Every structure is written in structure tokens, then in C-alpha cells.
């Protein structure tokens, strides 16, 4: 099933947050509860240890009960020990008549009196003294340890340490609620940020999709807005470049067909006109008319052959290249144009590299050098130079003439199909040469020489 970018990003993270919030709260609750109980137990044990020390100091076993002054000092020490405990652990001290004497204001606190009754009841149980127990007082669970001093006095008959469990639970519960609220608020912020982020991705993609549809219909690329998202902006630029190249290719194709149609129409009209004149007997020099028809037929044949070559190179799969001797290939190429060069009075000189082999095929090399050499002979005044040079892994073949050179306006377009420079034939030869060069992994470029004339450089891979 197809889903949008917004749905693909937003929904899974939303589901994950919905699961994580209660899960985080549960984990936090258990961790906080354990930490709180551990801290309470530590405080409980700290106060209990201080009381045990004070009991052994003020109520040593085997000695008489302390007097009133000593008992008062004991109660003050207990108060100091209790103040040093940061948690909820507290002490209770009862007189011999089960009267609560510590804390001093305990008789005025109903909750503390209820706890005192529970502690006294616990102390009367057999074996309960000295053990840590949990009692209920006022509906709350309280951790209690009651101790009978070895030497009792009238004012100190029972000592207990207690710590409310419910306050710990309440503190944990409050912390969990606050933490859950904080996580929920954070989740809302994250969801809002994700929604904005997802839309910032989906919106450019939607606009790019609409622009792609326009390009597919052959319309001008409509998207002018630049995106803040780097990847979306890179895609927009790439799509814009592709659109411009497609439109340029479409214009070039239309121009090419127009030029080809024009080139085909001219010889066909000439052939048709002379053939009709011969048929109707209005031409007195029939052999001359036949020569014109023959010349135009050859011209048509040459154009059709070039079109077929162009078509084959366009649709042909990668050819199987072989290592061929460069000198032999160039000698064969010069022989093929020697007749045209002699007829025009142009001398061709060759400076090759002995033993150099290049990766190509005879057919591809013939298409490249045939067009380059025939162009050079056509535009040369008297000489054509063919030279070779070895580079790292490459051999450069330069074909130059001593003619007028290439017009500056023509240089960017000379390899385009159907583009004809001054005195050009069909505007196909250099396009065929470039396609053939690419087919054998070579580069072909053109330039004007400072000393006059045009130069074409073919850079081929060494075998």
C-alpha cells in the first residue's frame, strides 16, 4: 500500500510516543519507589544506629537506671540525632506508664497518639521487641522498630523508631505524575515539530511531483521557488536541468529533422525536375541532365548512409573493442581521402607513433578519421597535418588544417546534429565522429589554432 511521506514519518513516531509515555512512567515509578524505599531504609537504619549507641551509652546493661538529669541529656541527644536524619525516620520514647514523652508535643498530635498506641500494642507482642515491623495507624502503613532499653527508668521505658511508608508512596506518586506530565508536554512538542518537519519534506516532494508531470507533458518547468531543505533543492535543480536539457534536445531534434528534410527535398526536386524534362523532351542536352540526376542521387545516397550510421551508433550496444595498430589505421584513413586531397591540391602529412595500439574497431575509427580528414581537406588551403602524441594511458591524434578555422559562433555547436557551418555538407559528419569516439571510450574536441586553421583532437585509450 502506498503511503505519503507525512504518514510514513508521523504515524510510527506518534505510536511509539504513545507506547513510551506510560512505559516510561511505569519504569520511573518502580525506580523511584525503590530509590525512595532504599533511602528511607537507610535513614531508618541511621537513626536506629544512633539510638542504639545512645541506649548503650545512657542505659548500659547491668547498671542502675539513670537519674533525671542523665535521662534529660539522653532525650536531648535523641532530638539531635533525629535532626541529623534528612528523611522521614523519627523516634518515639515512652515512660513507664506508657506515656509518650518524646517528642515533647506528641500528646497534642492525634495522628502521633494513634501511632503511639499501635507501637505500644506491637511492643506487647511476644518476640516483637527489636524487630522491624509494619503497623497500620490512621489508615497508613508505618515501618516500626521498638526497643526496650536494658536499664529502664521511669521516664524511658520504651524506645521506637518509625518511618511512614505512605509518605514515600505519595512522594513517588507525585513524582510520577509530574514526570508523566512533563513527558506528555514534551511529546506534544515533539509531535508538533515532527508534523512541521514531515510537511517540510512532503510539500517540496509534492511540488516536485507536479513539476515532473509538467515536464512529462513537454511544458516549461514551472517551479521557481527555492527550497530550504538541501536535498529537495538539489532535486529541484536536477529536475530543472533535466527539463532544460530535454527541451533543448527536443528543439535540436526538430531543427535536425527540418534540416534533413530541406537537404532531402533539394536533390529530390532537382532529380524530379530533370527527369520530367527528359520525359517531356524539353531538355536538349539529355546526357547533361542525366549527370545532374546521377550527382544528386549520389548526394542522396551519401546523406542516407550518414543517417543510417547515426541511427546505428545511437541504438548500438557497446561494441567489442580490440587492440589495433594506430599507424596502420591512420595509413588506411589517409588512403581513403588521398584522391579528394589530390583533386583539391592539398598535401597531407602524417607524424605517427610507431608501435602504439589503441582500443577501437576498424569501423568506428574509420567513421571518426574519415569525417575529420574529409572536413580538413575541404577547408584546408594547401596542407593537412596529422600528428600523434602519447600520454599516460592515452594517445592523442590531432587533425589540423591551414584554412580559415572555425567561426567562433560555430564552435559550441559543431558537434550538434544537423548543424552546418560555412560550406558544410549535411551537418551530420561531426555528430557521427563524436558518437563513434564515445563508443570506443575516446574524447573528441575542436579548437582554432593560434597560427591559423582548425584542429580536432581525438584522445584514445592505449591498449
Domain residue limits, the chain: 5-173, 230-315, 322-461
Q: pTM of the predicted model, to two decimals? A: 0.47
Name the nearest CA neighbour of 247 among 281, 278, 217. Answer: 217
The DSSP output letter for 450 is T
89-118 in b/e form (b: 16+ CB < 10 A) is bbbbbbbeeeebbbbeebeeeeebebbbeb
Distance of CA 165 to CAs 51, 142, 370, 401, 457, Å? 20, 5, 102, 105, 94
pLDDT for position 397:
93
Distance, in Å, from the CA atom of 163 to the CA atom of 144, rounded to the nearest integer, reads: 7
Domain 5-173: give its CATH architecture.
Answer: 2-Layer Sandwich (3.30)
Contacts of residue 309, defined as CB under 8 A and 6 or more positions apart, other chains included, come to: 367, 432
Distance, in Å, from the CA atom of 101 to the CA atom of 104, rounded to the nearest integer, reads: 6
Name the nearest CA neighbour of 377 among 429, 302, 304, 328. Answer: 429
Enumerate residue ranges in the chain where pLDDT < 70: 1-10, 33, 35-37, 40, 61-66, 128-130, 150-154, 166-172, 221, 252-264, 266, 302-303, 305-318, 418-427
Distance of CA 438 to CAs 135, 239, 359, 399, 443, Å? 94, 25, 12, 18, 6
Instruction: Give the pairing type, strands 100-102 and 394-401.
Output: unpaired
Beta bridge partners of 147: 159
Could you tell me which CATH class the domain 322-461 is placed in?
Answer: alpha beta
What is the distance, to the nearest Å, from the Cα of residue 255 to the centroid of all Cα atoms in its chain? 41
pLDDT for position 187:
79
Angle of the 429-439 helix axis to the 362-379 helix axis, nearest 10: 150
pLDDT for position 384:
93
pLDDT for position 444:
92
pLDDT for position 72:
81
287-300 in b/e form (b: 16+ CB < 10 A) is eebeebbeebeebb
Q: Do 278 and 290 meet the contact criterion of CB atoms below 8 Å apart?
A: yes
Angle of the 68-83 helix axis to the 5-58 helix axis, nearest 10: 170
Within 13 Å and on the Cβ side, how many CA atoms surround 106?
19
Q: Do 259 and 420 meet the contact criterion of CB atoms below 8 Å apart?
A: yes
Q: What are phi and psi of 428, to 5 degrees?
A: -115, -25
Instruction: Let me know if domain 230-315 sits in CATH 1.10.287.130.
Output: yes
Distance, in Å, from the CA atom of 106 to the CA atom of 101, rounded to the nearest integer, reads: 7
Distance, in Å, from the CA atom of 293 to the CA atom of 149, rounded to the nearest integer, reads: 139
Distance, in Å, from the CA atom of 121 to the CA atom of 4, rounded to the nearest integer, reads: 70
Distance, in Å, from the CA atom of 39 to the CA atom of 168, rounded to the nearest integer, reads: 10
Within 13 Å and on the Cβ side, how many CA atoms surround 292?
19
pLDDT in tens, 82-116: 888 777 788 888 887 888 888 887 777 888 888 88
- How many residues are given for the chain? 463
pLDDT for position 262:
59
Q: Do 224 and 237 meet the contact criterion of CB atoms below 8 Å apart?
A: no
361-377 in b/e form (b: 16+ CB < 10 A) is beebbbbbbbbbbbbbb
- Lookup result for grid cell 497518639: 113
pLDDT for position 151:
62
Amino acid at each position: 500500500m502506498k503511503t505519503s511521506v507525512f504518514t510514513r514519518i508521523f504515524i510510527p513516531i506518534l505510536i511509539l510516543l504513545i507506547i513510551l509515555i506510560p512505559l516510561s512512567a511505569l519504569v520511573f515509578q518502580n525506580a523511584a519507589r525503590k530509590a525512595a524505599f532504599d533511602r528511607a531504609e537507610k535513614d531508618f537504619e541511621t537513626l536506629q544506629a544512633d539510638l542504639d549507641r545512645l541506649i548503650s551509652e545512657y542505659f548500659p546493661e547491668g547498671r542502675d537506671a539513670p537519674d533525671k538529669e542523665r535521662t534529660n541529656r539522653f532525650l536531648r541527644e535523641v532530638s539531635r540525632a533525629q535532626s541529623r536524619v534528612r528523611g522521614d525516620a523519627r523516634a518515639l520514647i515512652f515512660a513507664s506508664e506508657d506515656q509518650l514523652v518524646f517528642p515533647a508535643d506528641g500528646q497534642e498530635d492525634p495522628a502521633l497518639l494513634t501511632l503511639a498506641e499501635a507501637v505500644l500494642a506491637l511492643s506487647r507482642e511476644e518476640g516483637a521487641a527489636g524487630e522491624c515491623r509494619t503497623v497500620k495507624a490512621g489508615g497508613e502503613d508505618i515501618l516500626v522498630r521498638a526497643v526496650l532499653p536494658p536499664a529502664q527508668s521511669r521516664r524511658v521505658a520504651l524506645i521506637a523508631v518509625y518511618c511512614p511508608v505512605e509518605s514515600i508512596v505519595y512522594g513517588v506518586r507525585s513524582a510520577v505524575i509530574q514526570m508523566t506530565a512533563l513527558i506528555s508536554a514534551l511529546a506534544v512538542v515533539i509531535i508538533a515539530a515532527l508534523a512541521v518537519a514531515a510537511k517540510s519534506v512532503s510539500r517540496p516532494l509534492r511540488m516536485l511531483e507536479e513539476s515532473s508531470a509538467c515536464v512529462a507533458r513537454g511544458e516549461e518547468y514551472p517551479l521557481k521557488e527555492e527550497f530550504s531543505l538541501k536535498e529537495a533543492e538539489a532535486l529541484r535543480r536536477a529536475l530543472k536541468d533535466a527539463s532544460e536539457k530535454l527541451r533543448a534536445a527536443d528543439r535540436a531534434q526538430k531543427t535536425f529533422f527540418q534540416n534533413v528534410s530541406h537537404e532531402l527535398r533539394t536533390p529530390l526536386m532537382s532529380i524530379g525536375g530533370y527527369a520530367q524534362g527528359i520525359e517531356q523532351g524539353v531538355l536538349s542536352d539529355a546526357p547533361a541532365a542525366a549527370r545532374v540526376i546521377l550527382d544528386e542521387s549520389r548526394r542522396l545516397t551519401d546523406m542516407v548512409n550518414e543517417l543510417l550510421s547515426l541511427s546505428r551508433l545511437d541504438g548500438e550496444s557497446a561494441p567489442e573493442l580490440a587492440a589495433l595498430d594506430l599507424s596502420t589505421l591512420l595509413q588506411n584513413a589517409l588512403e581513403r581521402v588521398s584522391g579528394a586531397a589530390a583533386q583539391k591540391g592539398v598535401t597531407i602529412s602524417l607524424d605517427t607513433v610507431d608501435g602504439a595500439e589503441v582500443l577501437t574497431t576498424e569501423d568506428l575509427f574509420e567513421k571518426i578519421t574519415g569525417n575529420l580528414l574529409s572536413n580538413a581537406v575541404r577547408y584546408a588551403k594547401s596542407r593537412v597535418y596529422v600528428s600523434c602524441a602519447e600520454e599516460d594511458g592515452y594517445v592523442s591524434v590531432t587533425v589540423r588544417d591551414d584554412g580559415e578555422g572555425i567561426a567562433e559562433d560555430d564552435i559550441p555547436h559543431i558537434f550538434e546534429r544537423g548543424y552546418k557551418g560555412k560550406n558544410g555538407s549535411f551537418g551530420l559528419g561531426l555528430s557521427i565522429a563524436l558518437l563513434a569516439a564515445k563508443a570506443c571510450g575516446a574524447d573528441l574536441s575542436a579548437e582554432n589554432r593560434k597560427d591559423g586553421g582548425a584542429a580536432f583532437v581525438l584522445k584514445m585509450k592505449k591498449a
